[in-house]
Homo-oligomer: A and B are copies of this chain.
Amino acid sequence: MRRVSPARDSVDEGTERKSSLVDDAYEAMRTAIRDSTFAPGYQASEQEIANRLGMSRTPVHEAVIRLQAEGLVEVLPRKGILIVALSPDDLREIYDVVIAIEGRAAELIAALPQAERTANVKILDGWTDEMAAAEKRNDLQAWGNADSAFHTALIQGANNSRMSRIIQTVNDQSHRLRMLTLNLRRGLDASVAEHRRIAQSIRFGNPADAADAARQHRIRARDELLPLLARYGLKHL
């Protein structure tokens, strides 16, 4: 984890919202957990994190409350802060949430007037194209980014801030899994085809098909992934 950026001390950029130390601590810890700087099972003290971030314990303590509410950490009353690991059961839960929310999002987009459907399809197809191109170049990083962007666009198209928030929370929780599975190079072709089917259903204005396509896409990915994790004996990540 790096020292907090000095941007907040410099000239305010006008439109920028002034950030509080609590927000800084929250984002720093969230990022650190996402990229495994704080690996699951790691135990830190508020004081230590506060030192690293160059602030006192208070903002760290308050940021931890948010992170705990979102399920990223667990605070052990007089022992420290524990970065939580994901069990296979957590993965089951997360997948079902994603299946539910993304399915409904796709359905909602497919029910929009044609002009808005077309705009959404253009964005979605753009990311799918990029996935196909990245696959040809064998660029897994780019493939993963485009895939993420497709699913983010799908949720944003539904224009529902609560859905966005829910998805972001489970994405934070499962980000490490995603980084791991990307390297397993599974289902790349299938994903592209399934993305096309989702977009196609939206283009034709068929909500039922769109919902089903989005759901089947996630179900297929889940059923491909969970046995792999079991085979490698990964009980927590």
B93 touches A108 (CB 8 A): no
Q: A22-B65, A66-B66, A69-B66 are in contact. Are A104 and B108 (CB under 8 A)?
A: no
Task: Determine if A160 is an interface residue (Cβ-Cβ < 8 Å).
Answer: yes
**A–B complex contacts, Cβ < 8 Å, 18 sampled:** A18-B77, A61-B62, A62-B62, A65-B65, A65-B66, A66-B66, A66-B69, A92-B160, A93-B160, A93-B162, A94-B162, A96-B163, A99-B104, A100-B100, A100-B101, A100-B163, A101-B101, A166-B166
Residue tally, chain A, CB below 8 Å to B: 29
Chain A residues at the B interface, C-beta cutoff of 8 Å:
18, 22, 61-62, 65-66, 69-71, 77, 92-94, 96-97, 99-101, 103-105, 108, 158, 160-163, 166, 170
B104 touches A100 (CB 8 A): yes
Within 8 Å by CB of A104, from B65, B66, B96, lies B96
Complex formed: what's the CA distance from A22 to B61 in Å? 12
